Structure 1
Amino acid sequence: MYKRGVPGLGRRYPVDQDTLQVMLREAVRQTVTEVLQILLDADREAFLRQHGGRKNGYYPRKLETAFGQVKLAIPRDREGKYYPSLLQPYARRQVDVGEVAIALYAAGVSQRKAAEVMSLLLGHRYTHETISAITDQVLEAAEA
C-alpha cells in the first residue's frame, strides 16, 4: 500500500510509509553524525590555538542519541590534555538514560518493562540487566 511518493526527475516513485520513516530517520542520524564531527574538530582546533600542542589523530566512539547510535571519530592531541567540551568524559549516551531509568523505577515500572520503554524511546536495545545497573549507579551516586 503506497501512500506517498518521492519526487525525482519529474516522476514520482512510490514509497510506503515505513520505508519513508526509515529513510528519514537515517538521514537525520547521518546529519547528526556529520554536525557532531564538525563541532568536535572545531573544538579541538580552538583548544590547540589556546593551549598549544599538536594533533594526534582520532579514536572511535559510539554515542547513543535520540536519533540512534552514531559513530564518531573523537579528536585527540599529542599530550593527551584535550577532551571534547561537547561530551562528558566516557559518555556513551547523549540523553541522560539514568534519569529516565530512575523515573521509571520511581513509577513502579518493572526493569523488563523499563527496558522495553527505553528501547522504544531511545532507539537502542536495553536489557533489564542494563537498566538494573544504570539504576544502581544513579542511586549510589545520589546517596553519596
Structure 2
Amino acid sequence: MKEMMSVILEGSLDGEMEEELGYSKYDFRNKETDNSRNGYNTKTMHTSYGDMELDVPRDRSGDFEPKIVKKYQNTISQDMEEKIISMYAKGMTTGDIESHMQEFMALIFRTVP
C-alpha cells in the first residue's frame, strides 16, 4: 500500500511542478520561464501504513510550493489515504489515480491567484 501511495503522490507532485513551470519535463522547446527543475528532495511521510519516503521535486528559484504535500507537512491525512484507496478499490490503476489527481491540481492552480 505504501508503495502504491508513494507512486501516486510522487506522480502528482511531478504534475504540480509541470503546472508551475508551464512545460513538461523534457519539453524545453515550450519553456517560457527562466526557472527550471532542480532535482528532488526526499521527505519522510507518516501514514497509517507506516513511514514512506517521497521524492518531492524542487525548482532552481525555490518558488515551487506543492499543494498535495505542503513543504513542512510530514503526515498524509486519513481522508487523502481513504480517497486514494477508494479509487484503487474501484478498479482505477495507479496511473489513472495519478492522472486524476494531476487534473484536480491543475484546476486548483487555475482558480487560485
Structure 1 residues 13-56: Cα deviation after superposition (integer angstroms, max 9, x where no partner) = xxxxxxxxxxxxxxx11101111111111110110008832010
Match of 1:61 in 2: 43
Match of 1:45 in 2: 18
Q: What is the Cα deviation at residue 72 of structure 1? A: 0.7
Q: Is 2:58 the partner of 1:76?
A: yes
Matched residue pairs, number?
A: 69
Q: 1:85 aligns with which of 67, 82, 96?
A: 67
Between the aligned partners of 2:76 and 2:15, the Cα distance in structure 1 is: 19
Q: Which has the higher Rg, Structure 1 or Structure 2?
A: 1
Higher relative contact order (CA 8 A, sep 6+): 2
CA contact (8 A) 1:66 1:95 kept: no
Structure 1 residues 40-91: Cα deviation after superposition (integer angstroms, max 9, x where no partner) = 1111011000883201001110001122211011100000000111123311
User: Percent identical across equivalent pairs?
Assistant: 26
Q: Which runs of 5+ in 1 are unaligned?
A: 1-27, 97-144
Give the TM-score, by structure 1 length. 0.44
Counterpart amino acid of 1:49?
G
Counterpart amino acid of 2:69?
L
